[in-house]
Structure 1
Amino acid sequence: MDLDGFDDAFGTNENGSGPPPTNGNGVEESDPAADFLAREQSNLAGLEDDVLSSSPVANIITNGNGLLDRSASPDLVIPSGDDDNLRPRSPSPTVFSQSVFSEPREEPEKIRIWREEQKMRLEEKDREEELKREELREAAKKELEDWYKSHEEQLISNRKANRNAEKELVAETEPIEPGSEWERIAKLCDFNPKGSKHSKDISRMRSIILQLKQTPPIKRQQ
């Protein structure tokens, strides 16, 4: 509240100085307005002193880092973890960094040449790999055809050998004579087999067949 105007109007003369007006007897004339303003100024001054002395903000003391000094202000309650909010903040570099990285950068000549050469080398390598894959496909196809051809020839040869063996067996078939049974059985046996670990031992059986071939049992005459 600006009270200087009231002071000029009621407490001083025209030139801003001089005693207050008096009556004809030389006694100072009491001015009710001036007295009222003086009382209001005194009350306002006392109120301002009370507010400043009771405010906790006036007692806040910061340390050298710009943070609140809790030891100097024990009456001030500050929640834990809020020191970062009271720390003076520096301008965020986000806008600056975005403006810097958003600017288009021209690629150096050496890097551009290297990229072109690398691209050509990769394309050439891809062509060579494709040619090698095609060669492998052709080789695999030829090997498969050769295997089918060899397998077919083997089947034909086996069929022919089986037919010949069947013909020979039929040609040699004669009426069974008494005492020749074991000799014919011995012809069907292989007495020189190639033994293996997983095959059964039939040596005892072969020896019995040979013995029966040489000395066939005599049938009892009825």
Structure 2
Amino acid sequence: MDAFGDGNFEQSEIDPAAEFLAREQNALAGLEDEIPPLPTGPVDDDVTQPKAEDGNDDFSGYTVPKQVTEEPERIRKWREEQKTRLEEKDREEERKKEELREQARKELEDWYKHHEEAISKTKAANRESAKNAEKQFVAETDEIEPGTEWERIAKLCDFNPKTNKSSKDISRMRSIILQLKQNPISTNKKV
């Protein structure tokens, strides 16, 4: 009872693997004569010696020449064109940078010019205002009468509570100055 249906299965006397190996050896037998032996002397700069990764130098004496391949013409032309395009872009970028630097320099000069003008105008206005305040103060000092001190102090104070919301609460001080202005304390009393 044969599972393959044929009980007369003959085993071949030749092993198929051995037959394949024999065929390949015959085909490759003449190649050894065609490949020249590699030099075993000192290694040139254009060849490399392969070495095993584990440090074992199984390939001593064998050298493998480096493969030198030329670039196709299209790639060479593209590289040249790309190089010229990049050089042009670099020149354009430098030109734009220089334009921006010049524009920034001009804007900075204009800003300093306007800033100096504003400062000089403010200084002139402050000097004029200080001169006027000084003249008014000198004119008022000549008119000092006893009992008017608190009235002069009240002129210097700002009694508008809405002007300085961010500052400290000075409402008590305001009320005291107003009381002293209305009812001055006599300072000429002898004790």
- Structure 1 residues 189 and 83 mapped into 2: Cα distance closer, same or farther (>3 Å)? closer
Q: Within 2, Cα distance between the matches of 1:191 and 1:144?
A: 39
Tell me, in whole angstroms, the C-alpha distance in 1 between the residues paired with 2:84 and 2:59: 51
- Matched residues in 1 for 2:144 and 2:129: separation? 26
Where in structure 2 are there 5+ consecutive unaligned residues? 1-53
Aligned match of 1:210:
178
| Greater RCO (CA < 8 Å, at least 6 residues apart) | 2
2: CA distance, partners of 1:133 / 1:110: 34
Task: Confirm whether residue 84 of structure 1 aligns to residue 56 of structure 2.
Answer: yes
The residue aligned with 1:130 is: 98
Instruction: Give the match for residue 195 of structure 1.
Output: 164
Correspondence for 1:171 among 105, 124, 139: 139
What is the alpha-carbon distance in structure 2 between the residues aligned to residue 88 and residue 144 of structure 1? Answer: 76
Q: Distance in 2 between matches of 1:88 and 1:104?
A: 31
Q: 1:60 matched to which residue of 2?
A: none
- In structure 2, what is the Cα distance between the partners aligned to 1:122 and 1:134? 18
1:92, CA displacement in angstroms? 2.5
The separation in 1 between residues aligned to 2:160 and 2:140, in whole angstroms, is: 22
Aligned counterpart, 1:15: none
Task: Report deviation, 1:220.
Answer: 4.5
Give the residue type in structure 2 aligned to 1:115: K
Tell me the residue number matched to 1:185: 153
**Structure 1 residues 116 and 156, CA gap change in structure 2 (3 angstroms):** same
TM-score by length of 2: 0.59
Deviation at 1:156, TM superposition (A): 1.1
Aligned partners of 1:115 and 1:108: how far apart in 2?
11
- Which structure has the greater CA radius of gyration? 1
Q: Secondary structure at 1:210's aligned position in 2?
A: helix
Shift of 1:196: 4.1
Gaps in structure 1 of 5+ consecutive residues: 1-81
Residue of structure 2 aligned with 1:160, choices 106, 128, 138? 128
1:40-72, CA deviations, whole angstroms, 9 ceiling, x for partnerless residues?
xxxxxxxxxxxxxxxxxxxxxxxxxxxxxxxxx
Match of 1:62 in 2: none
Q: Distance in 2 between matches of 1:83 and 1:131?
A: 61
Which residue of the partner structure matches residue 114 of structure 2? Answer: 146
Matched, 1:100 2:68: yes
TM-score (norm 1): 0.51
Greater mean alpha carbon deviation, residues 137-146 or residues 164-173: 164-173
Aligned 1:22-33 pairs, distance under 5 A: none
Q: CA RMSD in A?
A: 3.1
Distance across 2 between alignment mates of 1:112 and 1:203: 83
**Corresponding residue pairs, total:** 135
Shift of 1:88: 5.9
